Each structure stands twice: as structure tokens, then as C-alpha cells.
Amino acid sequence: PNLQRLNVSNARLTDPILHLLTHSPQLRELVMCRNLEISDMGLSGVVMRCPNLQCLNIEYCTALTDTSLRRVTAECTQLQKLSVGGCTVALSSLMPLTASGQFRELWGLFSVIDCQPHVPGEGLTDLVRALPHLQVFRLSPFRLDAVQLEELLDVL
């Protein structure tokens, strides 16, 4: 299959249906927002079958956990854009994004659960600093205090 882009937002997908739809090693962009029944197992299967994934939007796929997000960020080495709005995200699960050096867009970081802003190597500022090609960074409505905001603006 030559499919490169697939948008299945609000499609009420289940893991078996996602499995059938994502049998394309050429798939570069997958948008599957608001599919509440997609689990870590389903997303992990996408990672295995779609090694060339560059853009992934999993906004409001609330059944997903950091288990699959860690796998995405570690194994999708060509990933350049990730949108996770509405998902509860541990900041540590995003750190593997820094390895490829080509990551460009991070959207929807408003449910970060383990953000340690003043602990070196563990804060949001450290993540942004480690993404030298980052061009788009949407936090809203993520809440930062004045010190956190100043640190982040210094890096951007």
C-alpha cells in the first residue's frame, strides 16, 4: 500500500480496526483524534507497522498511557510532529524525542503530570532546549508560573 496520510478522527476506532487501517509502511501522517477506545496495544501496533511516521496526532485519545507514548517517541525515529492535547502525558515520556535531532512541532502539552521545572534534566525547559529544530510549541492552556515562563522564553 502507498497510503501516506490517514485521518480517522472521531471514527470510533477500536484496536482491531486501527490494525487493519495501518498496514502501510509508507504512512507518514496519522491523525486519530478523539478515538476513545484506542489503547496502548493499538498504538504500539501502529509504531511497528508504520516505521516512517513523521506526524502523529493523538489528541483526546484518553485511553492511551505513557507506555505507548514512550514507545512512539523512542521508536518513531522520523517523527517531526506530535500532538497530545487532552492526553495525560508524563514529561519523561517525551524526552526520547530529543534523540533524532529533527523534531519540529509539539502540540497540546497541557496535561503534563511529572513536570519538574526546577530539576535539571527533568523540566519542560530542558525538553525544549534539547529540541534544537523545534519551530512550533503549543502549551495553552498549560499553566506556568512567572519563573517557569521566563526560563522557557530564554530557551525559545
* pLDDT computed for residue 74 by the predictor: 87
CA distance 39 to 25: 21
What is the model's pLDDT at position 121?
Answer: 43
pLDDT at 106: 78
- How much is the pLDDT for 117? 43
| Domain 5-154: homologous superfamily in CATH | Ribonuclease Inhibitor (3.80.10.10)
pLDDT of the residue at 16 = 94
The domain spans of the chain are: 5-154
**Who contacts 137 (Cβ-Cβ below 8 Å, separation ≥6)?**
105, 106, 128, 156
The per-residue pLDDT string of the chain (156 residues; one tens digit each, 9 = 90 and over) reads 688 999 999 999 999 999 988 888 899 999 999 999 999 999 999 999 998 999 999 988 989 988 888 888 888 889 889 888 888 777 778 878 777 777 787 776 655 544 444 444 456 777 777 777 888 777 655 566 677 777 777 777
pLDDT of residue 118: 43
The rounded distance, in Å, linking the Cα atoms of 74 and 130 is 15
pLDDT at 139: 67
- At residue 156, the pLDDT reads 72
Helices (H), the chain: 15-21, 40-49, 66-75, 124-129, 146-155
